[in-house]
């Protein structure tokens, strides 16, 4: 189970796949995209309001410029979402999970042939 302790670790996770993550907004956008994966979304959708709920000043900041005392609550919120989203995304699915995800997608009107 992955455990991120700071936003730089989360950014590094996405940059392993070639993403460019410099600002908090880029990081949040990457989390939202990953969160919309069916493996995650069926179990967790609290991330959907991150871009709206977080202050624009925080979202514009470069991750490398964030101080530990500045935006503490916002950093904690992003870390909580990152830890939840990444762990749901990376886990191995059971047969029960496959069925649950299929039912969730059907309830939202998704095309299961995607």
Closest CA to 33 of 87, 80, 89, 74: 89
Alpha-carbon distance of 43 to 99, in angstroms, equals: 12
Q: Give the pLDDT confidence score for residue 114 in this predicted structure.
A: 55
Instruction: Break the chain into its structural domains and give their ranges.
Output: 7-107
- Low-confidence residues of the chain, pLDDT below 70? 113-114
Contact 35, 47 (CB under 8 A): yes
Alpha helices, DSSP H, located in 1-114: 7-15, 24-35, 38-41, 50-53, 56-60, 72-90, 95-107
Q: Which two tokens stand for residue 45?
A: 């959708």
Q: Which two tokens stand for residue 101?
A: 């995800």
Digit-coded pLDDT (tens) for 45-60: 999 989 999 999 999 9
């Amino acid at each position: 189970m992955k455990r991120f302790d700071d936003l730089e670790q989360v950014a590094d996770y996405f940059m392993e796949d070639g993403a460019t993550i410099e600002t908090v907004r880029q990081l949040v956008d990457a989390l939202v995209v990953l969160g919309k994966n069916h493996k995650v979304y069926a179990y967790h959708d609290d991330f959907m309001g991150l871009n709206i709920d977080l202050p624009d000043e925080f979202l514009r900041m470069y991750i490398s410029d964030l101080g530990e005392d500045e935006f503490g609550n916002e950093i904690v919120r992003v870390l909580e979402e990152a830890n939840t989203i990444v762990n749901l995304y990376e886990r191995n699915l059971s047969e029960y999970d496959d069925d649950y995800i299929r039912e969730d997608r059907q309830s939202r009107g998704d095309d299961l042939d995607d």
